[in-house]
Amino acid sequence: PAGLKRFFEEYPFVCLEQKTSVAIGLRDATRWQQVLDAMPTYLDTNGLASYFPGAGGNGNPGSPALTAYLLDASHAAGFDIPPELAQRMERGLTAFAEGRIKPEHWSPQSDLVVRKLAAIEALTRRGHKPLSAISSLEIEPLRLPTSALIDWYLIAKRLAGLPDRAAKLAAIEREIRNRLSYLGGHLVFTSERSDYWWWLMVSGDANAFRLIEA
Protein backbone atom coordinates (compact mmCIF):
# COMPACT_ATOMS: atom_id res chain seq x y z
CA PRO A 1 0.00 0.00 0.00
CA ALA A 2 1.14 3.53 -0.75
CA GLY A 3 0.83 4.65 2.88
CA LEU A 4 3.01 1.86 4.17
CA LYS A 5 5.59 2.47 1.44
CA ARG A 6 5.68 6.17 2.33
CA PHE A 7 6.07 5.33 6.02
CA PHE A 8 9.21 3.31 5.34
CA GLU A 9 10.62 5.81 2.85
CA GLU A 10 10.26 8.67 5.35
CA TYR A 11 11.30 6.71 8.45
CA PRO A 12 14.05 8.82 10.07
CA PHE A 13 15.77 6.44 12.49
CA VAL A 14 18.85 4.41 11.65
CA CYS A 15 19.78 1.70 14.15
CA LEU A 16 20.54 -1.70 12.64
CA GLU A 17 17.08 -3.09 13.35
CA GLN A 18 15.42 -0.03 11.81
CA LYS A 19 17.60 -0.02 8.68
CA THR A 20 16.96 -3.73 8.25
CA SER A 21 13.20 -3.30 8.67
CA VAL A 22 13.11 -0.46 6.13
CA ALA A 23 15.09 -2.46 3.55
CA ILE A 24 12.84 -5.49 4.00
CA GLY A 25 9.64 -3.44 4.19
CA LEU A 26 10.46 -1.73 0.88
CA ARG A 27 11.88 -4.92 -0.67
CA ASP A 28 14.86 -2.73 -1.53
CA ALA A 29 17.93 -4.76 -2.54
CA THR A 30 20.17 -1.70 -2.59
CA ARG A 31 19.31 -0.74 0.99
CA TRP A 32 19.77 -4.35 2.07
CA GLN A 33 23.22 -4.47 0.51
CA GLN A 34 24.13 -1.32 2.43
CA VAL A 35 23.05 -3.07 5.64
CA LEU A 36 25.19 -6.09 4.76
CA ASP A 37 28.22 -3.96 3.88
CA ALA A 38 28.13 -2.34 7.33
CA MET A 39 27.06 -5.38 9.35
CA PRO A 40 30.57 -6.56 10.37
CA THR A 41 30.95 -3.33 12.35
CA TYR A 42 27.82 -4.23 14.34
CA LEU A 43 28.91 -7.74 15.40
CA ASP A 44 30.70 -8.35 18.69
CA THR A 45 33.42 -10.95 19.24
CA ASN A 46 30.75 -13.65 19.80
CA GLY A 47 28.97 -12.83 16.53
CA LEU A 48 25.99 -11.13 18.18
CA ALA A 49 24.64 -7.97 16.57
CA SER A 50 24.38 -4.60 18.30
CA TYR A 51 21.95 -1.81 17.45
CA PHE A 52 24.79 0.59 16.66
CA PRO A 53 28.33 0.16 15.27
CA GLY A 54 31.21 -0.72 17.54
CA ALA A 55 29.63 -3.80 19.14
CA GLY A 56 31.66 -5.16 22.02
CA GLY A 57 33.39 -1.86 22.71
CA ASN A 58 32.82 0.15 25.89
CA GLY A 59 31.04 -2.75 27.55
CA ASN A 60 28.49 -2.92 24.74
CA PRO A 61 27.81 -6.60 24.00
CA GLY A 62 25.64 -7.65 21.09
CA SER A 63 21.99 -8.56 21.53
CA PRO A 64 20.69 -12.13 21.04
CA ALA A 65 17.20 -10.68 20.44
CA LEU A 66 18.42 -8.40 17.65
CA THR A 67 20.58 -11.16 16.15
CA ALA A 68 17.60 -13.53 16.10
CA TYR A 69 15.46 -10.82 14.48
CA LEU A 70 18.03 -10.20 11.72
CA LEU A 71 18.33 -13.91 10.90
CA ASP A 72 14.57 -14.47 11.12
CA ALA A 73 13.36 -11.45 9.16
CA SER A 74 15.92 -11.74 6.38
CA HIS A 75 15.20 -15.45 5.91
CA ALA A 76 11.42 -14.91 5.88
CA ALA A 77 11.82 -12.11 3.30
CA GLY A 78 14.20 -14.08 1.09
CA PHE A 79 17.07 -11.64 1.70
CA ASP A 80 20.37 -13.49 1.84
CA ILE A 81 23.10 -12.92 4.41
CA PRO A 82 26.57 -14.01 3.21
CA PRO A 83 27.42 -17.42 4.75
CA GLU A 84 30.41 -16.15 6.72
CA LEU A 85 28.32 -13.47 8.45
CA ALA A 86 25.33 -15.75 8.96
CA GLN A 87 27.49 -18.47 10.50
CA ARG A 88 29.09 -16.01 12.93
CA MET A 89 25.65 -14.88 14.06
CA GLU A 90 24.35 -18.44 14.31
CA ARG A 91 27.34 -19.49 16.41
CA GLY A 92 26.71 -16.56 18.73
CA LEU A 93 23.03 -17.46 19.13
CA THR A 94 23.90 -21.10 19.74
CA ALA A 95 26.42 -20.15 22.43
CA PHE A 96 23.81 -17.93 24.09
CA ALA A 97 21.03 -20.54 23.87
CA GLU A 98 23.32 -23.19 25.39
CA GLY A 99 24.40 -20.88 28.21
CA ARG A 100 28.06 -20.68 27.16
CA ILE A 101 27.91 -16.88 26.95
CA LYS A 102 25.78 -14.50 29.00
CA PRO A 103 25.66 -11.05 27.36
CA GLU A 104 24.71 -8.22 29.68
CA HIS A 105 21.11 -7.24 29.12
CA TRP A 106 18.68 -4.78 30.68
CA SER A 107 15.03 -5.72 31.10
CA PRO A 108 12.20 -4.71 33.42
CA GLN A 109 11.49 -8.36 34.29
CA SER A 110 12.98 -11.82 34.04
CA ASP A 111 13.13 -12.76 30.36
CA LEU A 112 15.98 -15.24 29.87
CA VAL A 113 13.75 -18.13 28.74
CA VAL A 114 11.93 -15.80 26.34
CA ARG A 115 15.19 -14.58 24.81
CA LYS A 116 16.52 -18.12 24.50
CA LEU A 117 13.35 -19.31 22.77
CA ALA A 118 13.67 -16.46 20.25
CA ALA A 119 17.28 -17.47 19.60
CA ILE A 120 16.39 -21.14 19.20
CA GLU A 121 13.48 -20.31 16.88
CA ALA A 122 15.80 -18.34 14.60
CA LEU A 123 18.28 -21.22 14.57
CA THR A 124 15.60 -23.78 13.67
CA ARG A 125 14.34 -21.53 10.88
CA ARG A 126 17.81 -21.73 9.38
CA GLY A 127 18.01 -25.51 9.66
CA HIS A 128 19.72 -26.04 13.02
CA LYS A 129 18.50 -28.56 15.59
CA PRO A 130 19.57 -27.19 19.00
CA LEU A 131 17.98 -29.92 21.09
CA SER A 132 20.58 -29.62 23.86
CA ALA A 133 19.73 -25.94 24.33
CA ILE A 134 16.02 -26.78 24.60
CA SER A 135 16.62 -29.55 27.13
CA SER A 136 18.08 -27.02 29.58
CA LEU A 137 14.97 -24.82 29.60
CA GLU A 138 11.94 -25.04 31.86
CA ILE A 139 9.10 -24.11 29.50
CA GLU A 140 5.58 -23.56 30.81
CA PRO A 141 3.28 -22.46 27.96
CA LEU A 142 0.75 -20.81 30.28
CA ARG A 143 3.43 -18.50 31.69
CA LEU A 144 5.00 -17.47 28.38
CA PRO A 145 4.20 -14.16 26.68
CA THR A 146 2.56 -14.80 23.33
CA SER A 147 5.68 -13.96 21.33
CA ALA A 148 7.59 -16.74 23.13
CA LEU A 149 4.62 -19.11 22.86
CA ILE A 150 4.70 -18.66 19.08
CA ASP A 151 8.48 -19.20 19.08
CA TRP A 152 7.97 -22.42 21.04
CA TYR A 153 5.24 -23.52 18.61
CA LEU A 154 7.51 -22.95 15.59
CA ILE A 155 10.38 -24.79 17.27
CA ALA A 156 8.20 -27.78 18.07
CA LYS A 157 6.80 -27.86 14.53
CA ARG A 158 10.28 -27.93 13.01
CA LEU A 159 12.02 -30.42 15.31
CA ALA A 160 10.74 -33.92 14.67
CA GLY A 161 13.18 -35.29 17.27
CA LEU A 162 11.81 -33.21 20.13
CA PRO A 163 10.87 -35.49 23.07
CA ASP A 164 7.09 -35.73 23.65
CA ARG A 165 6.62 -33.51 20.61
CA ALA A 166 2.95 -34.33 19.98
CA ALA A 167 1.98 -33.55 23.57
CA LYS A 168 3.99 -30.33 23.53
CA LEU A 169 2.37 -29.17 20.29
CA ALA A 170 -1.11 -29.94 21.64
CA ALA A 171 -0.44 -27.93 24.81
CA ILE A 172 0.92 -24.99 22.84
CA GLU A 173 -1.97 -24.96 20.38
CA ARG A 174 -4.49 -25.15 23.21
CA GLU A 175 -2.93 -22.15 24.96
CA ILE A 176 -2.73 -20.12 21.74
CA ARG A 177 -6.42 -20.77 21.02
CA ASN A 178 -7.31 -19.75 24.56
CA ARG A 179 -5.68 -16.35 23.97
CA LEU A 180 -7.26 -15.59 20.60
CA SER A 181 -10.12 -13.16 20.25
CA TYR A 182 -11.70 -11.04 17.52
CA LEU A 183 -12.82 -7.43 17.82
CA GLY A 184 -14.76 -6.75 14.66
CA GLY A 185 -12.38 -7.85 11.94
CA HIS A 186 -9.30 -7.42 14.13
CA LEU A 187 -7.39 -10.42 15.46
CA VAL A 188 -6.24 -9.76 19.03
CA PHE A 189 -4.90 -11.69 22.00
CA THR A 190 -6.60 -11.53 25.37
CA SER A 191 -3.11 -11.19 26.87
CA GLU A 192 -2.14 -8.33 24.57
CA ARG A 193 -1.45 -5.75 27.28
CA SER A 194 0.98 -8.02 29.12
CA ASP A 195 2.46 -9.20 25.81
CA TYR A 196 3.96 -5.80 24.98
CA TRP A 197 7.59 -6.63 25.66
CA TRP A 198 8.89 -3.59 23.81
CA TRP A 199 12.53 -4.12 24.88
CA LEU A 200 12.46 -7.35 22.82
CA MET A 201 10.77 -5.67 19.83
CA VAL A 202 7.48 -7.56 20.16
CA SER A 203 3.86 -6.40 20.24
CA GLY A 204 0.35 -7.67 19.64
CA ASP A 205 0.46 -6.79 15.94
CA ALA A 206 3.79 -8.55 15.47
CA ASN A 207 2.42 -11.60 17.28
CA ALA A 208 -0.64 -11.69 15.01
CA PHE A 209 1.46 -11.60 11.85
CA ARG A 210 3.83 -14.25 13.17
CA LEU A 211 0.94 -16.50 14.15
CA ILE A 212 -0.49 -16.22 10.63
CA GLU A 213 2.89 -17.26 9.23
CA ALA A 214 3.10 -20.14 11.73
pLDDT at 38: 96
pLDDT at 69: 97
pLDDT at 55: 66
Question: For residue range 150-195, what is the model confidence (pLDDT) as tens digits?
Answer: 999 999 999 999 999 999 999 999 999 999 988 777 778 999 999 9
Q: Which residue has the higher pLDDT, 33 or 183?
A: 33
Question: For residue range 98-115, what is the model confidence (pLDDT) as tens digits?
Answer: 999 999 999 999 999 999
- Answer yes or no: is pLDDT of 57 > 60: no
Strands (E), the chain: 180-183, 186-189
pLDDT at 170: 97
Question: What one-character DSSP code corresponds to residue 62?
Answer: -
Distant-in-sequence contacts of 67-72, Cβ < 8 A, 24+ apart: 67/92, 67/93, 67/119, 67/122, 68/93, 68/118, 68/119, 68/121, 68/122, 69/17, 69/20, 69/118, 69/122, 69/201, 70/16, 70/17, 70/20, 71/122, 71/123, 71/125, 71/126, 72/121, 72/122, 72/125
Q: What's the pLDDT band for 58 if we cut at 50, 70, 90?
A: low
Question: For residue range 136-153, what is the model confidence (pLDDT) as tens digits?
Answer: 999 999 999 999 999 999
pLDDT at 183: 78
Could you tell me the pTM of the whole model? 0.93
Question: For residue range 10-23, what is the model confidence (pLDDT) as tens digits?
Answer: 999 999 999 999 99
pLDDT at 17: 96
* Average pLDDT score over the chain: 94
Question: For residue range 69-80, what is the model confidence (pLDDT) as tens digits?
Answer: 999 999 999 999
Considering the chain, what percentage of its residues have pLDDT values greater than 90? 86
